[in-house]
Amino acid sequence: MSLKLRHWIFLIIIASLVLAVDQISKNIIQHNMYLGQSIEIINPVFAITYSENSGASFGFLPQAGDIFLVLAFTIVIGLFIFFPRIPQSAVLTRIGIALVCGGALGNAIDRLAHGAVIDFIHYQIPGVVSNVSNLADHAIVIGVILILIDSWRSEGKKKEAKLAEASAIIDAPETPEEQEKTAL
């Protein structure tokens, strides 16, 4: 099996796992809780709260659901087009893209099936923030972070290579002509 084919299989497996775990968790919440119900897990910072979100990840822009549906499919298509161009060494980028694709598709399925995204992971810092999200949102965020880390590491390696190259040029032995000029 070719390396490229293995990369594609890896992408499909990771994205499918994210999608499956996301959809199963949302299904469990939908069938065992009523909308608005909250079960405190770690009072007051973490609860399981069933809510529906017509906006973006973490509840942003609640009236823009259709735009986010189109955006999700556009991003997934774009990532699939970009995927073959990823360097062999960019493992974190491959994982990140798979997480983003799985999460985006999970939320897109919710929008198509329910008209809104099912959220239930409720983090709170009293008086500061209260946010309800889902596993797809978290997969997207973790995926983007992994892509950024890999990009940052890659840039660092490129800079090191340029410095090493410049150092090699400076430290290169002199040609016989240069040695004669230096000796005079």
Active site members: 119, 137
- 50's torsion region: left (phi>0), alpha (psi -120 to 50) or beta? beta
Pairing of strands 129-133, 117-125: antiparallel
For the chain, state the CA radius of gyration. 24
How far is residue 15's CA from residue 101's CA, in Å, rounded to a whole number? 6
First to last CA, the chain: 63
How far is residue 140's CA from residue 64's CA, in Å, rounded to a whole number? 18
Strands (E), 43-134: 46-53, 117-125, 129-133
Is there a contact between 79 and 97 (Cβ–Cβ < 8 Å)? yes
Is there a contact between 140 and 68 (Cβ–Cβ < 8 Å)? no
